[in-house]
Amino acid sequence: MLGHFNSIIAMAANAAKQTKLPMAATDSPNLTNDENGPKKTTFQSSKATSVATNCAPRTNLPDLKWLGLYYVIYIGAGTLSFFALRNHIRGKKTNDFIDSLYMSVVTMTTVGYGDLVPHDFLSQLVCTGFITVGMLLFGIVVKLAAKYLVFKQQKVLINALHTARKMGPMEALNEIESIEIDYTKCIISLIAMAVHFVIGIFVLVTVEGMEIEDAVYCASTTMTTVGFGDESFSSEFGRMFGVLWIFTGTSCLGQLFLYVAEVYTDIEAKKLVKWVIASNIIDKTDFEAADNLEKGKVHGAADFILYKMRKIKKEDISCAMKDVGVDDRSVFDVIPAQSSEKK
C-alpha cells in the first residue's frame, strides 16, 4: 500500500519545510468588518497555492524514503525466507523464486489466496511473523495518510485566517462560499481503477484460461483483498504479472479511499473556516455605537460587553439564571441602567 501515498505525503513533507506563514500582528483574535481595509488578493487564489506551498504549524513527517526502504526489505526478506522454506510450502508451484516473490506480495497485501500455504510449524511461524510485520507497515502508511489530512486542514484554516485579515472577513466568507470542492482526483482514481481491473481480467482470460465470469470474480476478490483462493494465478507468467498487478490493484483501491477521505476533509475544513471567521466578526457599527454612548468617549472591551448586555432583557436573564440555579440579582447589579433619554 505504499505506492499510492508517495506523491501525496511528499507534497505535505515539502510544505512542512517552508517557512512559517506570517500572520498579521494583532492583540485580539477578533476580526472587524472594516470595509475600508486593504484588499490585496482573493481567497480563491490564496487557497489554490496555500495548500501546497504556504505553511501551517510545523509537523515532523517521517521520511518517506525510510518507509519505502522498509517495504523493500520486507519483500526481499520474505522472498528469501519463502525460497529457503520452499520444501515446507505446499500448493501448485511453478518457478521457486517467482513463487516465493508471489507469496511474499500476496502476504504483504493481505490478499492471501491460499494457493501456496505453509504446512509445518516452522513455515507457519515464519508466515505469522511476516503477516504481523506487514500489518505494522500498513499501519504506518495509514498513519501518514491521516497526518496528511490533518496537516492539510490546519494549513487551510491558518491561511484562510491570514487572508481574512488582509481582505476583510466578510469578503473572505463570500469567497469561501464560492469555492467548489474538487472531485478531480476521485474521478481519475476511479478511471485508473477501472483500467487496472480490465487489464487484470484480460490477463486472467488469455493467460490463465479462465472464463470471463471467473476472471471478473477473481479480479474483484483480489483488488478488495478478500482472496478466497478458489480462483488465482497458477502459471509462471501469470504469477509474474500478479506480483505487480496485485500490488498496484490494492494501491488503487487504497488511493481511492484516501481521495474520498480528502474530499470529505475539504468539506469539513470549509465549514470550520467559515465558522471560525464568522464567530470572530464584530461589526464595526457596534464599536461605533459603544464609543458614542457618552459624548464621544471611547470605551474599552469591558464597556463594550456591558453595552451588548443592555440589549438583553432582564426577563431573559432571569429565566436563564433560574435554569442553572444562580441568583440573578448579582448579574443585574453589574449592568448599568440604560439611560431613557438619548442626547
Would you mind telling me the total number of residues written for the chain in this entry? 343
In a domain, 123, yes or no: yes
What's the pLDDT at 332? 53
The answer to whether the CB of 98 falls within 8 A of the CB of 236 is: yes
Q: At what angle do helices 64-84 and 96-108 cross, to 10 degrees?
A: 130
Total tally of structural domains belonging to the chain: 1
Look at residue 110 and tell me whether its pLDDT is greater than 70.
yes
Give the pTM.
Answer: 0.63
The band of 66, judged by pLDDT with boundaries at 50, 70 and 90, is: confident
242 located within any domain: yes
Domain CATH number, residue 139: 1.10.287.70
Domain assignment present for 284 = yes
Predicted confidence band of residue 281 (pLDDT cuts 50, 70, 90): low
The answer to whether residue 206 is domain-embedded is yes
Instruction: Look at residue 317 and tell me if it is in a domain.
Output: no
112 assigned to some structural domain = yes
Cβ contacts of 101 within 8 Å, gap of 6 or more: 75, 79, 243
* Grid cell of 140 as nine digits: 504506518
CB 196 within 8 A of CB 248: yes
DSSP β-bridge partners for residue 281: 31
Task: Note down the domain range covering 225.
Answer: 63-290
Look at residue 56 and tell me whether its pLDDT is greater than 70. no
Q: If you average pLDDT over residues 208-229, what whole number do you get?
A: 92
Three-class HEC string of the chain: CCHHHHHHHHHHHHHHCCCCCCCCCCCCCCEECCCCCCCCCCHHHHHHHHCCCCCCCCCCCCCHHHHHHHHHHHHHHHHHHHHHCHHHEEECCCCHHHHHHHHHHHHHCCCCCCCEEECCHHHHHHHHHHHHHHHHHHHHHHHHHHHHHHHHHHHHHHHHHHHHHHHCHHHHHHHHHHCCCCCHHHHHHHHHHHHHHHHHHHHHHHCCCCCHHHHHHHHHHHHCCCCCCCCCCCCHHHHHHHHHHHHHHHHHHHHHHHHHHHHHHHHHHHHHHHHHHHHCEECHHHHHHHHCCCCCCCCCHHHHHHHHHCCCCHHHHHHHHHHHCCCCHHHHCCCCCCCCCCC
Share of the chain above pLDDT 90, in %: 33
> Is the residue at 322 inside a domain?
no
For residue range 136-160, what is the model confidence (pLDDT) as tens digits?
A: 988 888 888 888 888 888 888 887 7
d(CA 338, CA 319): 21
Contact call for residues 309 and 293 (beta carbons, < 8 A)? no
User: Lowest-confidence range among 3-7, 65-69, 198-202?
Assistant: 3-7
Average pLDDT, the chain: 74
- In a domain, residue 52? The reply is no
- pLDDT value for 164: 78
